[in-house]
Structure formats: C-alpha cells, structure tokens
C-alpha cells in the first residue's frame, strides 16, 4: 500500500504519518516507526546517562550565552505549556517528585536558597496576595500554629528572663516600622522550635530585623550552626 509502511523493528504495517522524516532512507522516511524510535532513544539515554550528560555539558560550554538566550526565548514562548506539563507530571508522580526535589535541595542547598530568594523578589506582590488568600482559607491552621508557638514560647521562658529588657526589642521593631514604612519584627536568634535546636525566649536571644529577613530565615538558621547546615533540607 502506497499510504502504509512496514516498521523494521516491530514489523507492523503502519500509516506513513507514524514514521519520522529521514533523508537517508527510501521515500524520505525512517525505517522504524516513531514509537519504536522513542523506545530506542529512551533506552539508549538510560544506558548512556553519563556520556549524554558530558556531551550536553560540553555543548553548553561551547555555545555559552547564545544558548542561554535561545533557551530563554523558547521558554518565554512556551511558558504556559511547559508549566502545565510540569504540573501534570507532578500530580501523576507526586511521591516520587517530592522525594526527588527534597534530595536535590539537600545536595544543592546554597543554590536552592538563591533560587528561592530570586523568585521571591521577582514575585513579591503575587506571593503576598497568595499568602493572604491561603490564610483566609486556612484560619483554623493559622490558629493552631499561633497556639503552638505561644505554648512553645511559654515553655521556653527561663526564670531569669527580663520582661522589661525584652519589651525594648518589641518597641524598637515598632518604631523602625513606623519611621521607615518597612515591616520589622522581633526575631529569635536561635529558633524556639526546630528539628535541630530550640532556643529560649529571653533578652539574650532576641534581635530586630525586617519581616522579609525573618520569614526567609525561618527556623533553619542560627549562629554557629556548623556542619548541620549540610544536612538541613
């Protein structure tokens, strides 16, 4: 049949549209169908992962900024489609994707933090709106979080804590906020609640900083954290 062709791999008679173009074969079509070619390429890539990675790296180094510019143009033109596929892949393989992302962050902690900061700066307004919407939909979770923090703070107050000295930090945070228009907060230098270390609620463990810096720090950063920085996700 003129409108069909036999695949040399699966030996099925398939329509011409099932074959990719290839000038090296008769009729200008590949001898294998697209499905068989995809299976072959996937298998080859799996068997030669290191070789493929080295080749891609060498190519990127040769192409340099030109490659980045082309990739950026392509991404912007196909952004929505790319994001939709990424979301679909994540939903279909949620547990595996979550594990893979956690492993990557653990192995690339510095880069992950830089990416998060850059994204936060570029999407500050949208993230604030999203956060406000989330809080509105999850008031019960917010109340539970506040209650846990109050309990932790109560348990973390040592007998020698000076309430007057601690009040100075809160007044200072309010003063700076009013004068500059930039929200400031009182931060616990060593976090009250953390899987790794728990600090005290006292004058020696308080500092004033911007709300943004405090949120970014979370409960995963403290002075002299040492080698733990390498294992914190």
CATH number at residue 4: 3.30.60
- 113 found inside a domain: no
Query: What distance in Å separates the CA atoms of residue 6 and residue 13, rounded to the nearest whole number?
Result: 4
- 126 found inside a domain: no
Domain around 56: 1-63
- 3 found inside a domain: yes
Instruction: Work out how many domains the chain is built from and give that number.
Output: 2
- 200 found inside a domain: yes
Q: pLDDT-derived band of residue 230, with 50, 70 and 90 as boundaries?
A: very low
Domain end, chosen from 12, 42, 63, is at 63
- 19 found inside a domain: yes
- Segment 65-108, tens digit of pLDDT: 777 788 888 888 888 898 888 888 888 888 888 888 888 888 88
pLDDT at 221: 66
- 210 found inside a domain: yes
Look at residue 48 and tell me whether its pLDDT is greater than 80: yes
The predicted model gives 174-198 an average pLDDT of 83
Q: How many CA atoms within 13 Å lie on the side-chain side of 24? A: 3
Instruction: List beta partners, residue 185.
Output: 209
- Segment 121-136, tens digit of pLDDT: 888 888 878 888 887 8
Question: What is the CB neighbour count within 10 angstroms for residue 43?
Answer: 10
- 117 found inside a domain: no
pTM above 0.85, yes or no: no
Q: Is 66 exposed, middle or buried (CB count within 10 Å of its CB: 0-12, 13-18, 19+)? A: exposed
DSSP code at position 189: S
- Segment 38-47, tens digit of pLDDT: 999 999 988 9
Look at residue 227 and tell me whether its pLDDT is greater than 90: no
Query: What distance in Å separates the CA atoms of residue 65 and residue 68, rounded to the nearest whole number?
Result: 5
Domain end, chosen from 63, 80, 113, is at 63
């Amino acid at each position: 049949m003129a409108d069909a062709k036999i695949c040399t791999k699966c030996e099925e008679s398939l329509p011409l549209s099932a074959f990719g173009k290839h000038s090296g074969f008769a009729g200008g079509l590949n001898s294998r169908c697209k499905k068989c070619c995809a299976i072959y390429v996937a298998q080859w890539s799996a068997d030669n992962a290191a070789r493929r990675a080295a080749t891609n790296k060498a190519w990127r180094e040769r192409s340099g900024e030109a490659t980045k510019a082309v990739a950026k143009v392509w991404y912007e033109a196909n952004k929505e489609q790319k994001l939709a596929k990424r979301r679909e892949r994540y939903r279909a393989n949620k547990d595996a994707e979550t594990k893979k992302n956690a492993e990557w962050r653990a192995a690339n902690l510095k880069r992950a933090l830089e990416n998060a900061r850059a994204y936060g700066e570029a999407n500050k307004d949208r993230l604030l709106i999203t956060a406000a919407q989330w809080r509105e939909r999850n008031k019960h979770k917010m109340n539970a979080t506040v209650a846990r923090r109050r309990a932790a703070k109560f348990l973390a107050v040592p007998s020698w804590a000076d309430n007057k000295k601690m009040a100075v930090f809160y007044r200072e945070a309010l003063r700076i906020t009013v004068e500059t228009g930039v929200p400031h907060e009182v931060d616990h230098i060593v976090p009250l609640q953390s899987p790794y270390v728990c600090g005290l609620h006292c004058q020696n463990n308080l500092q004033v900083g911007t709300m943004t810096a405090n949120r970014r720090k979370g409960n995963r950063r403290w002075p002299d954290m040492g080698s733990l920085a390498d294992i914190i996700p």
